[in-house]
């Protein structure tokens, strides 16, 4: 009836890879947050796939909590971005280097 | 022995979800304009919602669309507009020499490791090999009741903790984004 779980897992792994690559290469804090969202979505897709495969609803409950934490993370993160932008009028993470040793 | 137990419809749904997810994800990376990145992110989130529905996680698919596409991406767009940060972020420049190459190699190793781990299976969990297609046990008739029961019994403490977490996050965001009052000004 459904496609093998491995297909979804490979798709999630590729999505995680794309998100990680973006997080490593882009410099804008906003884009980096979006890439973190991509990685979190890859993990939730994996959770749901294992939930179906193993017949355990705990996987879907975990996804529920991941979503809540992602929402909280984005809220606080964007608040920090706004606060930083007020001071430096830039969202580039390369310019935040005051604490460099 | 992998018997063909999946129909063409399942393959079609998977292909749709995969195209939505991958095109959207690449779009997030490749767009110069942050607004376009946010719109591509919506596309990816819809693709993930399609994948959720295909795996009988109906409630999570609805939450995915409502919370992610409806709230989080709108928050992104709101901040982009608010900051006027929709100027073009230079995609072409590479601040550190060889950064892209190193990132690409690292990510390739990570993804290959994940897929290899999955192919061998039960490395950590002791679960049955997923590469041989486990039998889906959740019925396809929706699982809202099942999920609600699990969240409000087994995971009740975590659920209450997330409520506190959300309140703390909202208060913290308001505190961070508030315009600072100058110290030398007299409080009115």
The ipTM is: 0.90
pTM: 0.84
If asked whether residues B10 and B44 sit together in one domain, one would say: yes
CA separation for the pair A27, B93 (Å, rounded) = 10
Asked if residue B171 belongs to a domain, the reply is: yes
Same domain, residue pair B4 and B69: yes
Contact B6 A82 (CB under 8 A): no
Distance CA A79, CA B93 (A): 27
Q: What is the pLDDT of residues B30-48, one digit of tens each?
A: 888 888 999 999 999 999 9
| Total CB pairs under 8 A between chain A and B | 249
Q: How many residues does chain A have?
A: 101
* DSSP at B174: H
- pLDDT of chain B along its 188 residues, tens only? 344 555 678 888 899 999 999 999 999 988 888 889 999 999 999 999 999 988 888 889 999 999 888 889 999 998 888 887 666 566 656 667 778 888 889 999 988 888 887 777 555 555 554 444 444 444 544 578 888 888 888 899 999 999 999 999 999 988 887 776 666 655 55
Q: Which residues 6+ apart lie within 8 Å of B146 measured at CB?
A: A57, B138
Q: What is the 3-state secondary structure (H, E, C) of A12-62?
A: HHHHHHHHHHHHHHCCEHHHHHHHHHHHHHHHHHHHHHHHHHHCCCHHHHH
Flag whether B187 is in a domain. no
Q: Do B14 and A3 touch (CB under 8 A)?
A: yes
Tell me the Cα Rg of chain B. 22
Cβ within 8 Å, pair A76-B143: no
Same domain, B11 and B33: yes
Same domain for B157 and B114:
no
Here the CATH number for the domain that contains residue B29 is: 1.20.120.1200
Q: Is the pLDDT of residue A24 over 60?
A: yes
Q: Do both B129 and B150 map to the same domain?
A: no
What mean pLDDT do residues A3-30 have? 88
Domain count, chain B: 3
Q: Is B80:B35 a contact under the CB 8 Å cutoff?
A: yes
Buried b / exposed e across A66-80, counting CB within 10 Å, b at 16+? ebbebbbbbbbbbbb
* Alpha-carbon torsion angle B129, B133, B138, B140, nearest 10: 160
Asked if B48's CB is within 8 angstroms of A50's CB, the reply is no
Put simply, the answer to whether B55 touches A72 (Cβ < 8 Å) is no
Residue B121 belongs to domain spanning = 96-134
A22 contacts: CB under 8 Å, gap ≥ 6: A31, A32, A34, A35, A38, B28, B29
Total residues belonging to chain B: 188
DSSP E strands in B72-181: the ranges are none
Burial annotation B114-124 (CB, 10 A radius, 16+ → b, else e): bbeebeebeee
User: A90: nearest CA in chain B?
Assistant: B85
Same domain as B64, residue B13: yes
3-class DSSP state of B20? helix
> Are B122 and B148 found together in one domain?
no
Residues B130 and B152 in one domain: no
How far apart CA A49 and CA A47 sit, in angstroms, is: 5
Same domain, B39 and B104: no
Q: Say yes or no: B43 and B114 in one domain.
A: no
A64, A70, A78 member nearest B60 (Cβ): A64
Q: For chain A, what are the domain ranges?
A: 5-89
Q: Is residue B186 one of the residues assigned to a domain? A: no
- Distance CA(B42)–CA(B96), nearest Å, equals 30
CB-CB neighbors (< 8 A) of A39 in chain B: none
The verdict on B18 and B83 lying in the same domain is yes
Chain A residues inside the 8 Å CB shell of B107: 17, 20-21, 24
B174 sits in the region (left: phi over 0; alpha: psi -120 to 50; else beta) called alpha
Q: Which CATH class is domain A5-89?
A: mainly alpha
Residues B102 and B175 occupy one common structural domain: no
Residue B184 within any structural domain of the chain: no
CA nearest neighbour of B144 among A61, A52, A43: A61
């Amino acid at each position: 009836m459904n496609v093998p779980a491995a297909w979804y897992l490979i798709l999630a792994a590729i999505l995680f890879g794309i998100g990680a690559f973006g997080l490593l290469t882009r410099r804008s804090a906003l884009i980096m947050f979006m890439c973190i969202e991509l990685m979190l979505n890859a993990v939730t897709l994996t959770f749901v796939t294992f939930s179906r495969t193993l017949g355990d609803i705990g996987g879907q409950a975990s996804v529920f909590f991941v979503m809540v934490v992602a929402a909280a993370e984005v809220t606080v993160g964007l608040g920090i971005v706004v606060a930083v932008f007020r001071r430096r009028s830039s969202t580039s993470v390369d310019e935040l280097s005051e604490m460099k040793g | 022995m992998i018997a063909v137990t999946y129909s063409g419809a399942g393959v079609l749904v998977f292909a749709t979800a995969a195209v939505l997810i991958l095109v959207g994800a690449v779009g997030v990376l490749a767009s110069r304009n942050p607004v376009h990145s946010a719109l591509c992110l919506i596309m990816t989130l819809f693709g993930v919602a399609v994948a959720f529905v295909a795996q009988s996680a109906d409630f999570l698919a609805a939450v995915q669309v409502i919370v992610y596409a409806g709230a989080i991406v709108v928050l992104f767009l709101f901040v982009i507009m608010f900051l006027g940060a929709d100027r073009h972020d230079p995609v072409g420049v590479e601040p550190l020499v060889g950064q892209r190459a190193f990132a690409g190699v690292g990510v390739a190793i990570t993804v290959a490791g994940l897929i290899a781990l999955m192919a061998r299976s039960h490395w950590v969990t002791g679960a049955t090999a997923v590469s041989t297609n486990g039998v889906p046990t959740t019925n396809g008739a929706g699982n809202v009741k099942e999920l609600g029961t699990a969240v409000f019994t087994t995971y009740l403490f975590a659920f209450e903790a997330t409520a506190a977490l959300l309140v703390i996050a909202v208060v913290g965001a308001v505190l961070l984004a508030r315009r600072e009052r100058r110290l030398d000004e007299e409080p009115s």
